[in-house]
Structure 1
Amino acid sequence: MKEIDQRLAAIKVVPVVAIKDVNKAVDLANVLITNGLPCCEVTFRTDAAVDAIKQIRDAFPEMLIGAGTVLSCEQVDLAIDAGVDFVVSPGFNPTVVTYCQQRGVPIIPGVNNPSLVEQAMEMGLRTLKFFPAEASGGVAMLKALAAVYPVSFMPTGGVSPENVRDYLALPNVHVCGGTWMVPAKLVDEARWDELAVLVADVSGIVASE
């Protein structure tokens, strides 16, 4: 997990994408890479997710790829076979966490309160997703958690250009997840030039941190 943490910390913002058409996966990944975000979290909310991950991995072997919205051990197997570097889940499921640990793939499970943080720490986890970030108290909640728990968070859910700097300024946040630079409509319509502008803007935010 240490290597993944270091790579995520260097990138600072992970684009969270739901790819409906596998034929658009490589083009989307190319936009991300060429505009300064060599990473993506491909969510398992679409049927195209597994094949999209495979195509991105084949086209860009060095890209940092996560599988998001992973809810079961079966999906963990699919993600690993597709070639992901890490797994992300929206909640904290001990069964899925244990299975990822057994299979040797880093997992970043979702938490949003002290009890879940403590359960995750009990299982040896020190990097956690804070989800849904804004609805769960946002920056104020993360500041409160920082006073107690020696863990790092990846806030996702409501993170935007307006507040991402506030999140990244927190000592217990080393990366954020977001969808604003990869809106589904632009991906579905293959509007790569417009996506490139949004991604480049995020790269500018990251560079200024």
Structure 2
Amino acid sequence: MHLCRRDFTAYADVCFREFGDRVLRWTTLNEANVFVLGGHDLGVLPPRRCSLPFNCSKGNSSTEPYMAVHNILLAHAAVARLYKKKYQDKQQGFIGINLLNNWFLPLTNTTEDKIAVQRANDMYLGWFMHPLVYGDYPSSIKKNAGSRLPAFTNRQSKRVKGSFDFIGLNFYCTMYVKDHPSCL
């Protein structure tokens, strides 16, 4: 297991052991998709890693968000597996993850804008939800990211798939989407 995932799981183990008699619903991460995009793409949140056109001194916005999501999903799955195996029967709790979900609408009624809405949904929510439900990334992300997107091994896919009792969705606003093919 990757060192950071092992550390995160060890931290969760302490939390489950010490607070499990008082906590019924555990969330491994809150708005994980926000801190990936904000921290590894735009560079406005820690660890502030990004690349041009954003104002960061280090990082690669074209690869690091994909690696971060991949490791976050594996870390979430490891913690969920620990909880289900070691604590859930005794504590009778639930474990999940929270994601930000914006509601996207096409700016115009064109086919291109409607397809762009699907890409936006895949990037904001599907990037996490699809692996959690199906064990792999959405085909649109695989197509657009290509070799920059890490692949799940069969074992990883099985561990990520279904590694939740609930999914929390934080919803704040609706956004309009316009197709911009050069941004793919």
Bigger fraction of residues in helix: 2
Task: Indicate the structure whose relative CO is greater, using CA pairs within 8 Å and at least 6 residues apart.
Answer: 2
- Say which one has the larger Rg: 2
TM-score by length of 2: 0.33
